[in-house]
Amino acid sequence: MAQRRKILQVVLNLETGGLESGIVNIARLIDQRRFELHVVCLRGRGELLDRIDQTTTRVFHSPRATGSIAAQIAETRRLCRRHRYDVVHTHGYATQLIGLVAARLAAVPYVINSEHGTLYDETARQRFLQRWMFPALDGHYAVSEALRQKIGRSFGVDAGVIEVVFNGVDTERFTCDQRDGERLRHDLGLTRADFVIGSVGRLVWEKDYPTLLRGFAAFAPTRIPPPVLLLAGEGPERAALHALASELGIAERVRFLGRRDDIPTILNALDVFALTSVSEGLPNTLLEAMSCERAVVASDIAPVLELVEDGITGTLFPAGDSEQLAKALLQFVDNGACSTKIGAAARRAVVDRFSARRMVDHYQAVYARLIGRAA
């Protein structure tokens, strides 16, 4: 039997997020016959740790290394020397710096980095460090074509050396389950007759939830029965969004659900999923909603254009335009058959192009290609 090759994923933590869900999917689907996967969490574990089978994937975190970059480098170098990894795979600026330095000090053959959306390019120091790190890496990956181009512009990197690997959705976990959705509706005091619009994500400015509230307020009070808006997530904008909902006169029709771990259930309770973001790397929640056969209405930012075919797998509207958002939502309120047709097409698109299996196979091919160089 061939020797299993060792891969180390370097992340900040395993809190709920698209990047972190990707790590869970890699751990779940990687070929255990070929690869041994380890994960190091630099700043803490997080609730997604429970979704990783630690009998097959080892997860490390040293509390004594949490507060210091030097300590994190030392701890990661120690792991690299002990386990003799073939590839260290970092995810974004902070892990890239720590993982690259630690791996080189431990003579790890290959170090690669994936960018997932947030680029740290505001200070001269950040730009300098990343312009130094990019040539020192053995592979560069981005979750969307738009992000690939942005990296090239931000750091003077030839975008041609960056490979796009789309985020992947667990299409078995995120699937259409009407009964599951109806149970949540019942718990929330809603019926099958209620038209439910919703969104899932952190309550931060990038998600532009004020546009969603204003778009919803433009038509909700005049409909009989009035539709309901569900917002799942926590964040610094929560108080302001509560206040805006009251100001718009829709507070009774908007439910703030807080942080939830039953996202497939929430998505299945919706008639329409709305994404109003003005900035994204690649919106996982949008793909998850599409995988659940939900009709989606999404802002026309560049990464979304790579996922949604307007009028076929969803409906696009100009980012920040609440009036056009209201019109897009109303087409589904008034036409349930349209929702069903678009939802089915969205599911097919995710299975064909954006599944977790496809993403993991892509990364496995990357690991095998790198390791093959040293063979």
CB-based contact 43:12 (threshold 8 Å): yes
Amino acid type, 258: G
Q: Which residues of 94-109 are buried (b: 16+ CB within 10 A; e: fewer)?
A: bbbbbbbbbbeebebe
CB atoms within 10 A of CB 175: 17
Give the up-direction half-sphere exposure of residue 272: CA atoms within 13 A in the CB hemisphere: 31
Q: Is 103 within a domain?
A: yes
Looking at the structure, do residues 104 and 248 belong to the same domain, yes or no? no
Looking at the structure, do residues 364 and 336 belong to the same domain, yes or no? no
Looking at the structure, do residues 252 and 103 belong to the same domain, yes or no? no
Q: Is 140 within a domain?
A: yes
Q: Is 227 within a domain?
A: yes
For the chain, helix (H) and strand (E) counts, in that order, are 14, 13
CB-based contact 351:18 (threshold 8 Å): no
Token code pair at residue 37: 């996967």
Long-range Cβ pairs for the range 322-326 (8 Å, 24+): 322/211, 322/212, 322/214, 322/215, 322/218, 323/215, 323/218, 325/211, 325/212, 325/214, 325/215, 325/274, 325/276, 325/297, 326/215, 326/216, 326/218, 326/219
Q: Which positions of the chain have pLDDT values less than 70? A: 1, 65, 373-375
Q: What is the pLDDT of residue 17?
A: 85
Among residues 221, 214, 330, 324, the alpha carbon closest in space to that of 272 is found at: 330
Looking at the structure, do residues 250 and 148 belong to the same domain, yes or no? no
Looking at the structure, do residues 211 and 73 belong to the same domain, yes or no? no
CA distance 149 to 142: 9
Statement: the pTM of the whole predicted model exceeds 0.75: yes
Looking at the structure, do residues 268 and 283 belong to the same domain, yes or no? yes
Looking at the structure, do residues 57 and 192 belong to the same domain, yes or no? no
Q: Is 173 within a domain?
A: no
Q: Is 344 within a domain?
A: yes
Q: What is the pLDDT of residue 1?
A: 53
Q: Is 345 within a domain?
A: yes
Coil vs helix vs strand at 296: strand
Q: Is 240 within a domain?
A: yes
Angle between helices 209-217 and 322-333 (to 10 degrees): 60
Among residues 99, 56, 57, the alpha carbon closest in space to that of 79 is found at: 99
Token code pair at residue 43: 């700043």
Domain count, the chain: 2
Between vectors from CA 9 to CA 166 and to CA 360, what angle results, nearest 5°?
35
Q: Is 85 within a domain?
A: yes
Looking at the structure, do residues 368 and 319 belong to the same domain, yes or no? no
CA distance 107 to 138: 13
Token code pair at residue 129: 């460090």
Q: What is the pLDDT of residue 375?
A: 47
**CATH number reported for the structural domain that contains residue 229 in this entry:** 3.40.50.2000
Q: How far is CA 290 from CA 29, 126, 346, in A?
A: 21, 36, 5
- Rg of the chain over CA atoms, in angstroms? 22
| Domain extent at residue 84 | 5-168+355-374
CB atoms within 10 A of CB 54: 11
Q: What is the pLDDT of residue 44?
A: 87
Looking at the structure, do residues 94 and 28 belong to the same domain, yes or no? yes
Looking at the structure, do residues 140 and 45 belong to the same domain, yes or no? yes
Looking at the structure, do residues 195 and 286 belong to the same domain, yes or no? yes
Looking at the structure, do residues 190 and 125 belong to the same domain, yes or no? no
